[in-house]
Amino acid sequence: MGLRSLFGALPPRIPYWAEAVPVESLPLPPKATLLWREASPGDVGVAVGDSVQTGQNLAREGAGLFMSTVTGTVEEINSLRGADAVEYAVVGIKTLEVDSYDSSIKSIEDLASASPEQILAMIVRAGFPGFDAVVKGATVETLIVSALDQEPLTAVNPQILAEHAGDVSVGIAMLTRVTGAKKVVVAIPHNSAHTAHGISADQAEIVKVRAIYPNGLPEILAKKQGGGLLLKTDRNGTVGNTLVVSIEHLVGMVSCLREGRPFVNKVVTCCDKPGGELKNILVRIGTPVSMALENLDVKLPPGGKLVINGPMHGYACFSDEQPMTATSDSILVQNPAEVHRFENTACINCGKCSAVCPEKLEVNLLGRFSEYDIFDKCAELGVENCIECGLCVYVCPAQRPLLHLLAHAKLVVKEETAGK
């Protein structure tokens, strides 16, 4: 699909992928690299040379959870500052071919009779992200289980719904008890051939969502289908009232909890040319991008670009040694002609950016205030509400780097507010 050919349309109608994409498993990587966000090497509780098991908590005591997704020997402990300006602890592990599993992850064979507390504890311990606010006791008014992918050129969730429909109903019943949600919604792409068979009307409301970006973003689902704000934790504690869980994570929870296994495998969609077929691979979390590309016989052309997590709000990947994480949904290989070049040209006040912004922000003003470091004005105009969907960049005829400018302003405003 040639996304660039859609430029100029207002409002943009960028479709999600609608066709089936079978999943092919990749072998284990010889070395897995694990990233721990907002942590430093001092938070790691293992040393170079230590043997580790799959599912083992690598954090030092009291520092939280940083789970190994492989069995092997620690080769490297390091730090890096990510493209999101956040510090990461990095642990490299030389892998063994056969997993030996950490025994602290216990199986729960009867999910219907286990207590919600027991299930929640094991969901978190098994490595599923996104439950911080629930653990902190936040009220979940609406639970949304989403079969939409977040980005175009991604084919993860509809495929998993098609392959594992039987576990969806079990997972919904489990999460409804765990979260205490008053309302449960299953969001399905309007053009999906697969419906959530087996889900009764009294278990969840099934909503067909128009399969157009950004309708699959959790913030948009929470606003339109949950009637509220996405549940998350921030400096003030927990905010929001709607928990969004992907079908991939829901199905993964059911199987991991039944078997007493950690969440270590991730489906990732690869796309290497406009109009080309998508490929789905199942990788071990920690596998480098280079190994995925090699196995698919895909090469990054000179002058091309790797983008992780989609063309709209994904991020450029400057090293193909970057590992896949629990939230990596896609790898996009762009040839030089497709790479979006930003210009430092002046805003022509066309208003297109503000017209498409789902958060109704005055994007042209925010871009200029950020450009000239006037961050108090950015805060006044609500830059923190930007969900970084990238639609403003997509329509800007001046090709201004609006997403970068707003993301930078968000970070500065967040840091300044935290320092007060």
Q: Which residues bind ligand SF4 (CB under 6 A)?
A: 347-353, 356-359, 361, 363-364, 367, 386-392, 395-398, 400, 402-403, 406
Residue 258 or 377 with smaller CB distance to ligand SF4: 377
Distance of alpha carbon 382 from its chain centroid, rounded?
A: 24
**Rounded least distance, CB 402 to ligand SF4, Å:** 6
**Rounded least distance, CB 348 to ligand SF4, Å:** 4
Residue 114 or 350 with smaller CB distance to ligand SF4: 350
**Rounded least distance, CB 403 to ligand SF4, Å:** 5
**Rounded least distance, CB 213 to ligand SF4, Å:** 11
Spatial distance between the Cα atoms of 262 and 403, rounded to a whole number of angstroms: 35
Spatial distance between the Cα atoms of 261 and 103, rounded to a whole number of angstroms: 9
Residue 284 or 410 with smaller CB distance to ligand SF4: 410
**Rounded least distance, CB 367 to ligand SF4, Å:** 5
Residue 11 or 237 with smaller CB distance to ligand SF4: 11
DSSP string, 122-169: HHHHTT-SS-HHHHTT---SEEEEE-S-SSTT--SHHHHHHH-HHHHH
Amino acid letter at 243?
L
**Rounded least distance, CB 327 to ligand SF4, Å:** 18
Other beta carbons within 10 Å of 206: 17
**Rounded least distance, CB 159 to ligand SF4, Å:** 27
Which three-class secondary structure state does DSSP give residue 271?
strand
Which three-class secondary structure state does DSSP give residue 290?
helix
> Pairing mode, if any, of strands 279-284 and 305-308?
unpaired
* Residue 127 CB partners (closer than 8 Å, separation 6+): 55, 65, 67, 69, 262, 263, 264, 326
Residue 338 or 384 with smaller CB distance to ligand SF4: 384
Residue 108 or 402 with smaller CB distance to ligand SF4: 402
Residue 12 or 262 with smaller CB distance to ligand SF4: 12
β-partners of residue 283 are 266
Residue 193 or 316 with smaller CB distance to ligand SF4: 316
Spatial distance between the Cα atoms of 7 and 370, rounded to a whole number of angstroms: 25
Spatial distance between the Cα atoms of 401 and 23, rounded to a whole number of angstroms: 35
8-state DSSP, 288: B
**Rounded least distance, CB 307 to ligand SF4, Å:** 16
Residue 291 or 402 with smaller CB distance to ligand SF4: 402
DSSP string, 201-244: TTT-EEEEEP-EETTTSHHHHHHHTSSS-B-EEETTEEE-SEEE
**Rounded least distance, CB 405 to ligand SF4, Å:** 9
For residue 359, give the nearest of 383, 337, 379 by alpha carbon.
Answer: 383
| Tokens found for residue 345 | 């040209």
